[in-house]
Structure 1
């Protein structure tokens, strides 16, 4: 038995309207075409669906039973159609994100919160990993988007620079250097310095700047994460240099003082995508929001 969708559509409309004329109007066909679809359906199922009394069609008990099944199918199709519309307008689906701590601890959660508020049927998973681990996650295609510091050369990963911005100096509240509009290496001579780990490329850039200025720092504490540097500075343990996004969140919480630092030490925020997996419309929509938020951190006025 092969039933086609158009036959069932006419049958459903006939049951709901009790009129071939009205059923035809509902599905946008002529009355003879609707009658033919109903007749073909009866032929296919092998038993009468309507009794004909005084030129009116009355559903048989078998028709009522069949209608219940048809209605369930159409409700399912309508649900699928609604899902298709929502997917097409980026309001339904899943988004898997892996991000380095500098972006994933404060910046990305705030964006995800507003993104999901406007799209309650979208499911988002956020994993916080080191930049290298983020690249590994993206290469396996288990994640849709990655955010890292490093530019990745991997056959399974595509990377692009989202923002390049200079590191900023952070000071404890009330620190003696807070009166300066900007800081340079000599200002931090003999100051307790909270440093990023020696194995990080950005640490090597920082060390090179102080070495070129012939300035000795008092390396008080070494840690892996910018946010940990910020927490230590906030506690009064020393001063430090960190990425501008982490610094901005700490400053908003009134926990540290932020000042431009010269010479500039550029820090890049990278977006990573699986190279052999198409970028979804949900991902593109999310990245549009990320790009707009990152514009506020592009501080071109920082001193050279």
Structure 2
């Protein structure tokens, strides 16, 4: 069976008007074209839908039954067409995002809020997990976008990678806050909040202190930098953290922030990547949000230089 949308539209209009000529006028088609559409539709269905009596069309019971089916099909197509236009216009759809802890509390919620503010039909799943978990989720196409510490090369992933320059968190009333940037010598023997010993950030920080002869004094070992900032607020330590954590803190507290952040030299870098599935085309929503996320990470990295 090869019934076309045009045949259904012509049939519906003929049923509505009861006239080939009126249907042709409404559809802006020629009368022979509409007549041919009805004839070929009847041929495809194997049943007469109309009786022709003295130039008039008499609707048969089969026509009334088929009208209900045709209306259902056309209405469903119209709804689907509107939905697809909304999706193309970023007005509808579902976005699945996985992100590392450094971005989960402030950066990602802020970006998502701005993105969906004028899109009430867009639903978002946003989950915080360790970077290794995020890599697996995006690789298996369970999530559209992931923000994680840069994983090893993986053919199933497309990675947009950023080298973030870490900054030093300290209280605003600290004497070191008067300096434009800080060095290991400035923090020599000072207590630090750090990540776990096997984390690349810890190793890079340790190396920077050893290279310059400064004494490295880790006091608090944490899984991420968010709780470290509270310890810095209490005057218990300093923290050399990623700019996502720093930017999120400043966004949250603004003028009431107790902490400030200074560039740290030599550079201590944290490599992060925006991850998307390599073997599945991104949706319009995911593609647009991925671009916004990448732009924000670039902006944020420049904020503390």
* TM-score, normalising length: structure 2: 0.87
Distance in 1, matches of 2:49 and 2:280, equals: 52
Greater Cα shift, 171-180 or 98-107: 171-180
Equivalent position SS for 2:260? strand
Could you tell me how far 1:112 is from its partner in structure 2? 1.4
SS at match of 1:259: strand
- Deviations along 1:10-60, one digit per CA (max 9) or x if unpaired, are 11112334442232244342101212323444564534536647x444545
**Residue matched to 1:171:** 170
Residue by residue, what CA displacement relative to the aligned partner does 1:160-213 show, whole Å, maximum 9, x if unpaired? 21x323111111342232222221112212322111111111110011001112
Partners of 1:175 and 1:137 in 2: CA distance? 42
- CA deviation vs aligned residue, 1:221-273 (integer Å, no higher than 9, x gap): 11010212223222332111101121022123114211111122122221222
**1:250-261 residue pairs with structure 2 within 5 A?**
250-252=249-251, 253=253, 254-261=257-264
Residue 149 in 1 paired to residue 149 in 2? yes
* Alignment-derived partner of residue 77 in structure 2: 77
1: CA distance between counterparts of 2:289 and 2:303?
A: 25
SS in 2 for 1:263: coil
1:95 aligned residue: 95
Q: Which moved more, 1:216-225 or 1:199-208?
A: 216-225
CA change 1:201–1:301 in 2 (3 A) is closer
CA distance in 1, matches of 2:204, 2:76: 59
Q: What secondary structure sits across from 1:37 in the alignment?
A: helix
Instruction: Confirm or deny: 8 A CA contact 1:132 1:150 kept in the other structure.
Output: no
Would you say the 8 A contact 1:167–1:265 is kept in 2? yes
Matching of residues 120-269 of structure 1 within 5 Å: 120-161=120-161, 163-252=162-251, 253=253, 254-269=257-272
Match of 2:299 in 1: 296
Task: Tell me: CA distance 1:38–1:136, structure 2 relative to 1, closer, same or farther (3 Å).
Answer: closer
SS in 1 for 2:181: coil
Maintained 8 Å contact 2:139/2:157: yes
Identify the range of structure 1 (81-90 vs 126-135) with the bigger mean alpha-carbon deviation: 81-90
Give the distance between the partners of 2:190 and 2:49, measured in 1 at CA: 94
Aligned CA distance change for structure 1 residues 152 and 258 (closer, same or farther; 3 Å): same
Unpaired runs of 5+ residues, structure 1, are none
Q: Contact 1:192–1:218 at 8 Å: present in 2 too?
A: yes
Aligned equivalent of 1:273, options 252, 269, 276: 276
Unaligned runs of 5+ in 2: none
- In the alignment, the residues of structure 2 paired with residue 12 and residue 150 of structure 1 have an alpha-carbon distance, to the nearest angstrom, of 57
Q: Distance in 2 between matches of 1:81 and 1:9?
A: 15
- State the TM-score, normalized to the length of structure 1: 0.87
Give the Cα separation in 2 of the matches to 1:183 and 1:40. 82
Instruction: Report how far residue 277 of structure 1 moved.
Output: 2.5
Whether contact under 8 Å (2:192, 2:237) holds in the other structure is yes
Cα distance in structure 1, aligned partners of 2:250 and 2:85: 42
Q: Secondary structure at the match of 2:15?
A: helix
Alpha-carbon RMSD across the aligned residues, in angstroms, is 2.5
Whole-Å separation in 2 of the counterparts to 1:299 and 1:239: 22
Residues 65, 289 of structure 1: alpha-carbon distance in 2 compared, 3 angstrom cutoff: same
- Number of equivalent positions: 300
Is the 2:98–2:146 Cα contact (8 Å) retained in structure 1?
A: yes
Shift in CA distance, 279/40, structure 1 to aligned 2, threshold 3 Å: closer
Alpha-carbon deviation of 1:280? 3.1
Compared CA separation, residues 69 and 207, structure 1 to 2 (3 A): same
Determine the C-alpha separation between the residues in 2 that align with 1:277 and 1:62: 45
